[in-house]
């Protein structure tokens, strides 16, 4: 099947599945992810002019690496599958970019052991953690990471999450945010083993994947500083109260300070620090050209991220109202009530009725319930 994306023409072997053409080498659902990647690379190059080399670590059809090569990056594509390597080479030639990028048929951990790259992009199927150590050892400036194992990350597949991320994820009403916080925590701890500090400059999540861009600082003091952002979330399953505490050691609550219940969960270590650099995200938004297939959606996402209150968990208005036995009202009105009561409040980019605020669950109810009858 023929695909055009970001000005690049691709040929990918397709299969008819339930009347829809699909390819194991090309996932159209990730086009937004790739459009944002290219805009992020453009923005990052202005910040770090020295950055030239880009590794597309799991290249498949080659689409991400080819788009980066078309943008002037010194690209290496890598894949373990011979079919993918042939396909990526064909697609580079199809776009007259065969001289701008090379394709390696190798285990990418071995490749990263041999060579350093300014930017490394890990976009595996499932967890990226088996590649994190080699990436932190050999990446100079920017590490881009996708995780598609959202059920382990958010605590829905508990044991798998514990194994992959050396952390305790919990299944709460803020699934995607739990995934974000567990993933960045695990990456920060992997980086620290190599005396590398991480700063997440852009992070977004859907029900299908979590994506984060980490600016690296290769010194021990930066790694220490990153670890300062780790801590735990204590969460009440009855009233949805949650609080966070920084530090490597958890000191769980014995009972809920809001409802007195004892069905409390502890998640962590999670990343409690910021996951966006708001100015960087705004610059990424302006770097998205109209020609990108997902331009409108990608800009909207950036705008929501820029405005999002910097809190490590989000709420879901419908779940809160259901818990209180009250009807939900319009989100705008609900958030206005919070702001009028003096709290910060914003929609969350996770969609639906998710929002972020610095108010506690009791404060949210007191500020909004007058409008909920
Ligand atoms: Zn409670």
pLDDT tens-digit readout, 178-226: 999 999 999 999 999 999 999 999 999 988 999 999 999 999 999 999 9
**Whole-number Cα distances in Å, 79 to 7, 104, 346:** 23, 7, 41
Using the predicted structure, report yes or no on whether residue 348 has a pLDDT greater than 90. yes
pLDDT mean over 31-37: 96
How many angstroms does the Cα of residue 167 sit away from the middle of ligand 1?
Answer: 23
259 annotated as a binding-site residue: yes
pLDDT of residue 253: 95
pLDDT of residue 15: 72
How many angstroms does the Cα of residue 238 sit away from the middle of ligand 1?
Answer: 5
Burial of 50 (0-12, 13-18, 19+ CB in 10 A): exposed
236 annotated as a binding-site residue: yes
Specify the CATH number for 2-307; select among 3.50.50.60, 3.40.190.10, 1.10.3720.10, 3.40.50.150. 3.40.50.150
How many angstroms does the Cα of residue 319 sit away from the middle of ligand 1?
Answer: 14
Please write the tens of the pLDDT for every residue from 98-150. 999 999 999 999 999 999 999 999 999 999 999 999 999 999 999 999 999 99
How many angstroms does the Cα of residue 236 sit away from the middle of ligand 1?
Answer: 5
Residue pair 67/34 in contact (Cβ under 8 Å)? The answer is yes
How many angstroms does the Cα of residue 271 sit away from the middle of ligand 1?
Answer: 23
pLDDT mean over 58-66: 95
How many angstroms does the Cα of residue 265 sit away from the middle of ligand 1?
Answer: 11
Specify the CATH number for 315-371; select among 3.30.110.40, 3.30.360.10, 3.30.56.70, 3.40.718.10. 3.30.56.70
Distance CA 373, CA 360 (A): 21
pLDDT of residue 16: 63
Using the predicted structure, report yes or no on whether residue 97 has a pLDDT greater than 90. yes
How many angstroms does the Cα of residue 362 sit away from the middle of ligand 1?
Answer: 10
Residues 6+ apart with CB under 8 A from 171: 154, 155, 156, 158, 178
- Nearest Cα to Cα of residue 161 among 129, 202, 122, 204: 129
Using the predicted structure, report yes or no on whether residue 20 has a pLDDT greater than 70. no
Residue pair 127/149 in contact (Cβ under 8 Å)? The answer is yes
pLDDT mean over 337-359: 97
How many angstroms does the Cα of residue 350 sit away from the middle of ligand 1?
Answer: 24
- The CB density around residue 369, as the number of other CB atoms within 10 Å, is 13
How many angstroms does the Cα of residue 74 sit away from the middle of ligand 1?
Answer: 53
Here the tokens at position 301 are 């996402």
302 annotated as a binding-site residue: no
Using the predicted structure, report yes or no on whether residue 1 has a pLDDT greater than 90. no
pLDDT of residue 19: 65
Distance CA 316, CA 208 (A): 18
Which pLDDT band, with edges at 50, 70 and 90, does 13 fall under?
confident
How many angstroms does the Cα of residue 79 sit away from the middle of ligand 1?
Answer: 48
Domain ranges of the chain: 2-307, 315-371
Using the predicted structure, report yes or no on whether residue 73 has a pLDDT greater than 90. yes
How many angstroms does the Cα of residue 361 sit away from the middle of ligand 1?
Answer: 9
Residue pair 114/137 in contact (Cβ under 8 Å)? The answer is no
- Conformation bin of residue 90: beta by default, left when phi > 0, alpha when psi is -120 to 50: alpha
Distance CA 333, CA 372 (A): 10
How many angstroms does the Cα of residue 202 sit away from the middle of ligand 1?
Answer: 32
Q: pTM here?
A: 0.96
Distance CA 285, CA 288 (A): 6
How many angstroms does the Cα of residue 144 sit away from the middle of ligand 1?
Answer: 37
Interstrand relation of 117-122 and 53-56 (parallel, antiparallel or unpaired): parallel
239 annotated as a binding-site residue: yes
144 annotated as a binding-site residue: no
Query: For a pLDDT cut of 70, what percent of the chain falls above it?
Result: 98
- Mean pLDDT of the chain, nearest integer: 96
The angle formed by the CA atoms of residues 210, 212 and 213, to the nearest 5 degrees, is 160
pLDDT of residue 47: 93
């Amino acid at each position: 099947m023929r695909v055009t994306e970001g000005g690049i023409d691709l040929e990918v072997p397709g299969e008819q599945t339930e009347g829809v053409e699909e390819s194991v080498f090309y996932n159209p659902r990730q086009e937004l992810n790739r459009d944002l990647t290219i805009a992020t690379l453009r923005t990052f190059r202005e910040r770090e002019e020295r950055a030239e080399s880009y590794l597309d670590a799991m290249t498949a059809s080659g689409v991400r690496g080819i788009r980066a090569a078309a943008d002037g990056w010194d690209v290496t594509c890598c894949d373990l599958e011979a079919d993918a390597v042939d396909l990526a080479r064909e697609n580079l030639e199809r776009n007259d970019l065969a001289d701008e990028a090379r394709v390696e048929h190798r285990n990418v951990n071995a490749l990263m052991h041999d060579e350093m790259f300014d930017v490394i992009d890990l976009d595996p199927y499932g967890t990226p953690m088996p590649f994190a150590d080699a990436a932190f050892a050999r990446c100079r400036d920017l590490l881009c990471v996708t995780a598609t194992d959202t059920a382990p990350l958010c605590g829905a597949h508990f044991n798998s999450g514990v194994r992959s991320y050396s952390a305790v994820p919990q299944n709460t009403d803020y699934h995607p945010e739990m995934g974000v916080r567990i993933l960045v925590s695990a990456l920060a701890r992997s980086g620290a083993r190599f005396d590398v500090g991480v700063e997440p400059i852009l992070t977004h999540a859907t029900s299908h994947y979590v994506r984060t861009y980490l600016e690296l600082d290769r010194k021990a003091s930066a790694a220490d500083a990153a670890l300062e952002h780790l801590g735990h979330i204590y969460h009440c399953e009855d009233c949805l109260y949650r609080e966070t505490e920084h530090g490597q050691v958890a000191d769980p609550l014995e009972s809920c300070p809001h409802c007195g219940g004892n069905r409390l969960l502890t998640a962590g270590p999670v990343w409690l620090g910021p996951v966006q650099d708001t100015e960087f995200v705004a610059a990424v938004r302006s770097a998205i050209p109209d020609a990108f297939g997902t331009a409108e959606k990608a800009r909207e996402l950036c705008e929501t991220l820029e405005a999002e209150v910097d809190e490590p968990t989000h709420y879901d208005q419908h779940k809160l109202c259901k818990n209180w036995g009250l009807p939900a009202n319009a989100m705008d009105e609900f958030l206005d009530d919070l702001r009028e009561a003096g709290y910060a409040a914003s929609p969350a980019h996770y969609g639906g009725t998710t929002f972020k605020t610095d108010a506690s669950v009791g404060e949210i109810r007191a500020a909004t319930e007058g409008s909920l009858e």
